Structure 1
């Protein structure tokens, strides 16, 4: 007899569907629906959603014998499961809005062999810093503030929401075992007051220097911007050696003479960005989008450019010595 267990969060509804195939074999399927959510803040409103998440299964007295590829045709899967680590990393490409889907039902995950009557499956859905995105903010500041200030404000609020409203794991389901549900956490008045104070400090700060704004917002420039929206920002000449900015959106940003050596920008969007004279040696740009960007005089020696899109990019006097270029797209 088919059994379905479900749990709902304002951002996502998750279901697991088990169907017996024999006494010791079951078919496991997934139901999922992603949505956007709203958060009222002072006199304003914040709209947000997920750009990714990780689905992980823990099996007791059971093991996968076969994985289905069906989920890869329904969701943007960045990392697929193994028998020892049955987890799926869902991740939209950088620069795309958020995950919003109609209800996806009966997505086959695979077949599972059970070794006793006491088998169980626990599914958790977790959200990392890079998986949460602000889509719209109304009533909290003027729309003509500098892109650097806006980017910092969006990131500060996104991480505030992850810390105060998104439990870890976001969802936890159990099949063939007692399951508990948790209420969505809410921020305290003290936390909201502190956030509003920080927003006011950033809005009224007398310059738009990115690292100084990070300091005001108590954001770590090396670790807090993976998956962030930094479109159109001005970061020229900054030392950002070794940052983890995977899946960051830097479309149209001014990155002239920046130091991103040893940095991780895998899957980032850099289309239309100006990286003239940038120091990018030994950086990870796997599957990064450089379409119509300028890399004139940039030093990319030793960088990983596997699968990168370099179509229509300005590569005048660019140093590409010892780069990994497998699958990279040029004109």
Structure 2
């Protein structure tokens, strides 16, 4: 595979919640087809083309609160591209259902808990018969996330600023696993410099709690649990995920 475009000059990807979603995007110039010298004059001039290769890792991230901690993941989301000096034809874009590669399962021991957990002082979560800080692991309320995940991908019809919608296809709580270096589409360069800004964005309905630890009693009713889930998502997680979860920029100067 040819080398990627200007690898040393590309800005570092931004991943604000990397344990929940990690994204990278690589651009690989398309090599022109070689023809015999005597046929060159018959070939029309073509602008440069760049194949875009996407990597997405969906998982669950822990977030610490004053009384305990929560784990969350994504049911779906939108990848939005803003392009200057080029376009991505609709027919070149990835669509359909794709299998996610499942990660290695890790136990929920203190050694495996993410080091990025941070207490959120502006969020004071009400508790219902909350457990003491010394609560043991069996008191953790887990919603099943160890499953085979299939991601359904659709795209919107616009060439200048295309978007892809990602959704969990099997009705499982969240997306879980990797899309590794899949071809997203082909960028046709029309002017230099060419710039591409990719962001992965989520709405409130895309966010799902997967585990709750020490915030309330395991005996809490489903109605109260649903209310508290919505409160956590609205007051903490939705704000944390705005304006985007991940961002990648690519520059092509010819």
TM range, smaller chain:
0.5 to 0.7
Aligned CA RMSD, in angstroms, stands at 2.3
Aligned-partner Cα distance in 2 for 1:128–1:160: 13
Residues 16-53 of structure 1: CA distance to partner in whole angstroms, max 9, x if unpaired? 11111146111111111112111111231111111111
Instruction: Give 1:67's match in structure 2, choosing from 75, 92, 100.
Output: 92
Structure 2 CA distance, aligned partners of 1:45 and 1:94? 27
Mapped pair 1:101 → 2:216: no
Structure-1 separation of matches of 2:238 and 2:98: 32
Contact 1:70 1:108 in 2 (8 A): no
Q: TM-score, normalised by structure 2?
A: 0.63
1:176 aligns with 2:200: no
Number of aligned pairs?
176
Q: Deviations over 1:145-204 (max 9, x none)?
A: 221111111111122223432221222221007xxxxxxxxxxxxxxxxxxxxxxxxxxx
Query: Secondary structure at 1:111's aligned position in 2?
Result: strand
Partner residue, 2:123: none
Question: With structure 1 as the length reference, what TM-score do the two structures score?
Answer: 0.49
Q: Distance in 1 between matches of 2:241 and 2:92?
A: 29
Matches within 5 A, 1:162-311: 162-176=237-251
Partner residue in 2 for 1:80: 155
For 1:57, the equivalent position in structure 2 comes to: 81
For 1:90, the equivalent position in structure 2 comes to 166
Match of 1:321 in 2: none
Structure ranking higher on relative contact order (CA contacts 8 Å, 6+ apart) = 2
User: Which structure 2 segments of 5+ residues have no match?
Assistant: 33-46, 100-149
Give, in whole Å, the separation in 1 of the partners of 2:249 and 2:233: 29
Local SS of the residue matching 1:176:
strand
Residues of 2 paired with 1:17 and 1:112: CA distance? Answer: 12
